[in-house]
């Protein structure tokens, strides 16, 4: 049992994604990617869950906030200085694939794109902040989607190989920590995000999604092997969206249902990427849902030889579920389904808040895999108000984070090997699921709004100084 709390070299920091905060979508030779054609506003969530999206922009009808993000492309020095002021040890960001290979299938990378990330990593190094780089974070180049059908097409493995070799080679002396695919297990729920295609129909969604996932499993395993070859000291992890599944009650039917849902959502991808093999329970699921995975010779060996060094995950909510749901109960749960948990309150966007669920998640993952864990997304999306004196009194965010960090600390005392924590959206950015600026997560307020107005000025919220204090005390001072 660890009585001392977090390790001395614990990685405290914040997390972002290029498509949500970088901007500069048509600068530096960058090509279009998936996020560039997703409209702003709550219409986005409907599109993500539907079939038949055409991946075209309609500027007469929609706005596209990801084009500008919060302009990190031009303001990275200012933003990194603020992260350093908070005491960040690590900063999670993604590389926009289409900034390195604008179309995705070129033979040679775009030098302007490579040089931009050189400057970002050099700026982080100036403050002794470790970059944690997500290689693919909902940013499939648009050309690969339109021309090849996204990750349904095996050709993307080849294109991804070329991309990872280029960035591993270029940044081998600047980046140690890497993640392959963001929230890879969310792909079957929202294939548009994770796999870069819109299902032809609801009937084909599962077949297409699991085939695309197989291609990503192979690509991830090959990336791990290539990364270890080019950067021997590298640490390469997987990235899951994790939500413990609670049975609605002690009815054994509901307990079994929760168990099966947890296996499929929480553990299927982890088993493949961490253990190096498809798990025992997936055969029955494939058979019952008429799913047949096309594999090439050597795929399973590649997966077995390309297991990750650590597990990273996002945690926002738990999920409560039951086998039989009434029409009234359908859709009452969180973003990822289930039913309403009567013991939990919810955020402004209906996401149930469950700090103890984080401790449960850490124990479940460590108990199953015995690999170091890093929480790379956690936070509260909320409406923030700028007071007359210019301050942002986000005590609700401090309360949320305090309770979750306290439960993370309990998991460490339980014996779980937790190596880092990066709060999501450490600076306000565009919401992935709704395309809104008003869903704010940051310690740093950005003057940008859903109607496109704003100066992009940065302001420190009350939570800025609170998180600085947490980092300075290595998680001991949560007041």
Please say whether the beta carbons of 59 and 221 come within 8 A: no
Nearest residue to 380 via CA among 403, 412, 410, 361: 403
The count of C-alpha atoms lying within 13 angstroms of the C-alpha of 265, restricted to the half-sphere facing its C-beta, is: 22
- Strand-pair category, 444-446 with 458-460: antiparallel
Alpha carbon 321 to its chain's center: 23
Please say whether the beta carbons of 70 and 21 come within 8 A: yes
Count of CB atoms situated within 10 Å of the CB of 392: 21
Instruction: Tell me if residue 442 falls in helix, strand or coil.
Output: coil
Q: For the purposes of burial, counting CB atoms within 10 Å of the CB of 297, is it exposed (0-12), middle (13-18) or buried (19 or more)?
A: exposed
395-414 and 462-472 are packed helices; what angle lies between their axes, rounded to 10 degrees? 20
In terms of residues, how long is the chain?
479
For every residue of 62-107, DSSP letters joined together read ---GGGTTT-HHHHHHHHHHHHHHHT-SEEEEE--HHHHSSSS--S
Nearest residue to 369 via CA among 282, 298, 269: 269
DSSP state of 275: I
Hey, which residues are catalytic here? 183, 377
Task: Say how far apart CA 72 and CA 80 lie, in whole Å.
Answer: 9
- Strand-pair category, 90-94 with 458-460: unpaired
Task: Say how far apart CA 245 and CA 234 lie, in whole Å.
Answer: 33
Task: Say how far apart CA 185 and CA 265 lie, in whole Å.
Answer: 6
């Amino acid at each position: 049992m660890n009585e001392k709390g977090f390790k001395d070299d614990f990685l405290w920091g914040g997390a972002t994604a290029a498509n949500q905060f970088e901007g500069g979508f048509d600068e530096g030779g960058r090509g279009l990617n998936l996020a560039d054609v997703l409209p702003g506003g709550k219409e986005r969530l409907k599109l993500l869950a539907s079939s038949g999206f055409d991946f075209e922009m309609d500027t007469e009808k929609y706005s596209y906030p990801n084009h500008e993000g919060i302009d990190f492309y031009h303001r990275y020095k200012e933003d990194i200085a603020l992260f350093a002021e908070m005491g960040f040890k690590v900063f999670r960001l993604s590389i926009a694939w289409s900034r390195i290979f604008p179309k995705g299938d070129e033979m040679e990378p775009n030098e302007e794109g490579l040089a931009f990330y050189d400057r970002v990593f050099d700026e982080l190094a100036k403050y002794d902040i470790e970059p944690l780089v997500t290689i693919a974070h909902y940013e499939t180049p648009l050309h690969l989607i339109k021309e090849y059908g996204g990750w349904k097409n095996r050709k993307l493995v080849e294109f991804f190989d070329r991309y990872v070799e280029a960035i591993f080679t270029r940044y081998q002396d600047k980046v140690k920590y890497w993640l392959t695919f963001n929230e890879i297990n969310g792909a079957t729920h929202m294939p548009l995000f994770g796999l870069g295609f819109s299902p032809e129909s609801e009937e084909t969604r599962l077949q297409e999604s699991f085939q695309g996932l197989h291609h990503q499993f192979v690509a991830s395993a090959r990336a791990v092997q290539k990364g270890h070859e080019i950067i021997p000291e590298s640490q390469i992890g997987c990235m899951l969206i994790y939500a413990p599944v609670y049975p609605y009650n002690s009815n054994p039917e509901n307990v079994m249902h929760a168990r099966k849902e947890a296996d499929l959502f929480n553990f299927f991808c982890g088993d493949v990427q961490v253990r190096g093999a498809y798990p025992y329970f997936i055969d029955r699921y494939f058979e019952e849902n008429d799913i047949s995975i096309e594999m090439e010779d050597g795929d399973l060996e590649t997966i077995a030889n390309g297991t990750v060094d650590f597990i990273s995950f996002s945690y926002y909510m738990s999920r409560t579920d039951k086998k039989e749901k009434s029409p009234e109960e359908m859709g009452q749960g969180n973003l990822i389904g289930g039913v309403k948990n009567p013991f939990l309150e919810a955020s402004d966007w209906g996401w149930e808040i469950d700090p103890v669920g984080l401790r449960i998640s850490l124990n479940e993952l460590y108990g199953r895999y015995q690999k170091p864990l890093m929480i790379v997304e956690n936070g509260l999306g909320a409406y923030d108000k700028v007071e007359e004196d210019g301050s942002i009194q986000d005590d609700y965010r401090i309360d949320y984070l305090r309770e979750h960090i306290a439960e993370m600390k309990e998991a460490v005392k339980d014996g779980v090997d937790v190596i880092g924590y990066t709060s999501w959206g450490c600076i306000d950015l565009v919401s992935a699921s709704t395309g809104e600026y008003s869903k704010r997560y940051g310690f740093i307020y950005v003057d940008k709004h859903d109607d496109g107005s704003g100066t992009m000025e940065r302001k420190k919220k009350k939570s800025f100084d609170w998180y600085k204090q947490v980092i300075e005390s290595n998680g001991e001072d949560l007041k």
